[in-house]
Amino acid sequence: MKKLVIVLLVSLFGFAVQAQQKKNKNAKADVEVNGNCEMCKKRIEKAAYSVVGVKSAVWHSDDQMLHLVYNEQKCSTTDVEKAIAKAGHDTKGVKAAEADYNSLHGCCQYERK
């Protein structure tokens, strides 16, 4: 009987620990992304959607923020930032390569920090 109680407690503890590590399938995040115009908006959102797990990506030029809804089990905000940087736009965490930035259209070349 004592062994049965111990096995039951260990099993319940294991389930509790596993439940706490579950990642959110509809996580929300805001990422700062540099850009200027509607062409930038399309490029930034397209780059974000190219990452598997991104469900929604909306960039606003007035506050330079990308509003994301994504599955934490499939991607992270860092994955999204890397994809956006590859498209030529700096984020708060990842800076675009000089060649990617230079390939942007003239009106899309924002002032780099």
Q: What is the pLDDT along the chain (113 residues), one digit of tens a residue?
A: 777 666 656 666 666 555 555 788 999 999 999 999 999 999 999 999 999 999 999 999 999 999 999 999 999 999 999 999 999 999 999 999 999 999 999 999 999 97
Sort residue 17 into left (φ over 0), alpha (ψ -120 to 50) or beta.
alpha
Which CATH code for domain 23-108? Answer: 3.30.70.100
* Cβ neighbours for 100, distance < 8 A, ≥ 6 positions apart: 85, 86, 87, 88
CB 103 within 8 A of CB 39: no
So where are the chain's domains? 23-108
Give the residue from 5, 25, 9, 6 showing the smallest Cα distance to 17.
9
